Amino acid sequence: MAEQLRLMAVHAHPDDESSKGAATMAKYVAEGVDVLVVTCTGGERGSVLNPKLDRPDVWANIAEIRRAEMDAARAILGIEQAWLGFVDSGLPEGDPLPPLPEGCFALQDVDVAAGPLVRLMREFRPHVVTTYDEEGGYPHPDHIMCHKVSVAAFDAAGDAERYPELGAPWQPLKLYYDIGFSKGKILALHEALLATGAESPYAEWLTRWEDRPDKGPRITTRVPCAEYFPVRDDALRAHATQVDPDGFWFQVPMELQQRAWPTEDFELVRSSVDSPTPESDLFAGVRGTAHAR
């Protein structure tokens, strides 16, 4: 049987797939890998971050608009995409924080919420799964819940005694956490900008980072994917309500990004194949083996 590799990326909201690991996915799609993005919520309570679209008619139809944006980003990345169907929890603000909305994703029972993802894992049969770390990448309730549900489903999908009604068991071989930002990456981009005489948008970040832990030492896997950074940015712009095309994310020249930090980075946290770290491929240890079916 010919080798067919499959990658599943689990994300909290529409637009997360385009800001976290998108170039990696586009690279693997170009290599013939089947890539499925699973989106846990519809993003119904997300902010409108593009000032040009901060209008009553957009807010009135935000759920439908975010689905259409996801369709556009999916087409740009060349991926498949599935919805888990949970409702966005929103990002609570204030002191003290208000309670989360009744029925939202972050308030679901983890074992119950993992069920639909177990079903998808058994149907799609990914060799590799990516998701967020225990802090959700950043502490949004839906991102933290996405982490919990992803890990629970990864551990349950291959167990015939768990969720027996949700299809034949399938055990993914590797689980990664996306490490979107590390101090090393931000510093490299900052210094590369300053070297050109340009102003850096990262100066404040680096100041704040003095009191924050650095996830750089956790990186095990750096995937070279610089040539797909433009695809990533096109997919991100497709989420037009979620990004300002004139804003922070697009201030660093593309050539400088590609030169200063040409990888997307991950932490390998589960593996049942021989894949010594550091790696440059999420499928290290999987390619060319009997597992790649």
Helix axes 141-156, 110-124, angle to 10 degrees: 60
The predicted model gives 269-275 an average pLDDT of 96
pLDDT at 289 over 80: no
pLDDT of residue 1: 33
Number of H helices, E strands in the chain: 10, 7
Q: In this predicted model, which residue has the larger pLDDT, 205 or 286?
A: 286
Report the alpha-carbon distance of residue 39 to residue 260 in Å, rounded: 30
Residues whose CB is less than 8 angstroms from the CB of residue 262 and which lie 6 or more positions away in sequence, other chains included: 224, 225, 226
Q: Among 88, 13, 83, 61, which residue's Cα sits nearest to residue 242?
A: 13
Least confident of 27-36, 115-124, 151-160, 210-219: 210-219
Q: State the DSSP code for 10.
A: E
**Reported pTM:** 0.95
Kindly tell me if the per-residue pLDDT of 291 is higher than 80: no
Cα radius of gyration (the chain): 19
pLDDT digits (tens, 9 = 90+) for 41-85: 999 998 899 999 999 999 999 999 999 999 999 999 999 999 999
| DSSP structure class, residue 281 | -
Locate the DSSP E strands across 203-243. 221-224
Q: In 10 A of CB 213, how many CB atoms? A: 10
Residue type for position 168? A
**For 167, which DSSP code?**
-
Q: How much of the chain is in helix, strand and coil states, percent to nearest 5?
A: 40, 15, 45
- Give the model confidence (pLDDT) of 85-143 as tens digits: 999 999 988 888 899 999 999 999 999 999 999 999 999 999 999 999 999 988 899 99
Span 166-178, average pLDDT: 98
Q: In the chain, which ranges are E strands?
A: 6-11, 34-41, 80-86, 128-131, 174-178, 221-224, 263-271
Contact by Cβ (8 Å): 9, 29: no
For residue range 207-263, list pLDDT tens digits in order: 887 778 899 999 999 999 999 999 999 999 999 999 998 887 788 999 999 999 999
Candidates 4, 11, 166; CA nearest to 74 is 11
Please report the pLDDT score of residue 2 as a whole number: 46
Residue 208 has what pLDDT?
A: 82
